[in-house]
Structure 1
């Protein structure tokens, strides 16, 4: 484990302590335990099953993409990569470490870095597009929830929405409008040089050119496999639906009725959009604080703290521990391998050379 991951673990522990204080400050521990004791265990198991589906959908996306690139990997192997991404994303600020870690372990299994990077790029694009679509739909179709967010959470949602729109538009432009993207990024680099924000102009331009070449390879892969994009978007929609539905299983577990799945899951989509791009490991602290405000509409002031604690326990903390164990297993399985297998000819065309991890990220820990 490198220094960055050690710092991430220390930071997440500190944030967890702060989150615990936030959840317990207005409710005695005895009252919290009494409330949690009312939850029906079957719904907790259902929530854990949804999270397993969440991780499994990404694994299926990897299996499909890598299969088109000529790598017939077993599903369990792709599932291991997904757990690695969940774990490392959860302990690094803004989830920046997950994709490089997945690409690294893929390369240990003989998948060239260029193919691994292309795989993560396509997953990231589909994830961002789908998450943005879910949040926009929830914002437009749930006016009561929108009105109850409050100023603070509303500003966070505005920040998250604007950044996600810019990030998604940038990724799609690099894939399908490369000339326009080159002019725009070139202009931004020139502006950065004039403002003395960019010191190594040639290095930055070369890095952007490599990144745009990777996005063009992604676009070529999709054009060569017209059925791949709908399959990836469908799996990603299922993946996010499972994630956003976890608070609803908690809602049912407390014996509450009245709110629909769409209302609760839509609220979670907005919370995830608001906090997912904050530079915090796993959005710890911000996710709990935002959920306390947003889900009070459904759980009421007496149950909202236990509900948020249980929801985060299912969708984040339990799978953080599980993914840590799987990551250790993947590391031990691959540590004796020193040289990857020869690259294979891809159905999308041959992808040569190593590539940097894709710009942007799939937010593995946009959790309730």
Structure 2
């Protein structure tokens, strides 16, 4: 990890500590002790296991997409270490922009050629975004009316997150199915940009964008011929997301919260993910905590239980991934390819 990333990590942890301190400074400490003393650790353990399972499912998606017949099988650790590394770098970079490059480096370390690895990661990304969108559309039919009625301000943020996902998926699908048109639009955009910004940077950006479009299109053609592989990866991603979205429900059970409805809590968590996606702050810090407090205040009686629930949820879904990512970076993979595999 570079010095810049280490500084970002320290800043993110410090910011998280500050947010929880600010939220908890007016909370009765004895009530917090009482809440922890009566915590149902079994349900909390289930929440942690669901988070770990989501990492395993994501590793299986990557394995399914990148492995080809006839190649030596990678050790399990070579794939298991990738999701936590992604979680770490997503957490310390704006708009989670560092996750993709970090995964790419992790795959190159085990012997995959950079072009192939980046193309597979792009395909994994589009499958993930599609499954997020499908989950959101289905759960919005159940829970969005309640949010619109009670939390109109958050409803606008949720709609913004939804729009961002649609635009992202739309751009990637354009590359897959309207390759020449997408290249033409991209060239036109950079031609206009070069009229405004006279710099070598524009040409470098243009070359990078065209190369990414080219590599993604080539890999998408390959994977469109392997529909079974894509379907299996999509189903695994769906399972991964369901496990992740269920975590707050078991946190509420651990806090002995009455009347916690599984479907409604599931829907609320989907919407929180949508909200945090539009915040440029690494990890959606601030926005995630505010969204949790606003949405789950209807379930959790009392300020103390709400703050404790927010802390436990954030530790499991955010800081656990950062910790595992640090561990994963410290344990080197076993390279079984003598030279890069294209």
Q: Do both share a fold (TM > 0.5)?
A: yes
Cα distance in 1 for partners of 2:52, 2:244 equals 10
Cα distance in 2 for partners of 1:65, 1:145 equals 37
Match status 1:208 vs 2:204? no
How big is the shift at 1:6?
A: 2.2
Following TM superposition, the consecutive aligned residue runs of length 4 or more in structure 1 with deviations greater than 4 angstroms are none
CA contact (8 A) 2:78 2:110 kept: no
| RMSD of equivalent CA atoms | 2.3
Match status 1:342 vs 2:342? no
CA contact (8 A) 2:276 2:283 kept: no
Paired position in structure 2 for 1:131: 132
Paired position in structure 2 for 1:29: 29
Q: Using a 3 Å threshold, how does the CA distance of structure 1 residues 89 and 33 change in structure 2: closer, same or farther?
A: same
Paired position in structure 1 for 2:257: 256
Cα distance in 2 for partners of 1:4, 1:162 equals 32
How big is the shift at 1:175?
A: 1.8
Cα distance in 2 for partners of 1:29, 1:186 equals 60
Give the length in aligned residue pairs.
Answer: 339
CA contact (8 A) 1:53 1:239 kept: yes
Q: TM-score, normalised by structure 2?
A: 0.91
Match status 1:267 vs 2:268? yes
Q: Using a 3 Å threshold, how does the CA distance of structure 1 residues 340 and 3 change in structure 2: closer, same or farther?
A: farther
Q: TM-score, normalised by structure 1?
A: 0.85
Cα distance in 2 for partners of 1:197, 1:269 equals 43
Cα distance in 2 for partners of 1:95, 1:71 equals 32
Q: Using a 3 Å threshold, how does the CA distance of structure 1 residues 137 and 25 change in structure 2: closer, same or farther?
A: farther
Paired position in structure 2 for 1:325: 327
Q: Using a 3 Å threshold, how does the CA distance of structure 1 residues 168 and 64 change in structure 2: closer, same or farther?
A: same
Paired position in structure 1 for 2:63: 63
Cα distance in 1 for partners of 2:340, 2:13 equals 41
Paired position in structure 1 for 2:229: 228
Q: Kindly report which structure 2 residues correspond to 1:45-124, keeping only aligned pairs within 5 A, or say none.
A: 45-68=45-68, 70=71, 72-124=73-125
Q: C-alpha offsets along residues 234-255 of structure 1, whole Å, 9 cap, x if unaligned?
A: 1111111111111000112223
How big is the shift at 1:312?
A: 1.1
Q: Using a 3 Å threshold, how does the CA distance of structure 1 residues 159 and 11 change in structure 2: closer, same or farther?
A: farther
Structure 1 gap segments, 5+ residues each: 345-350, 352-368
Match status 1:284 vs 2:246? no
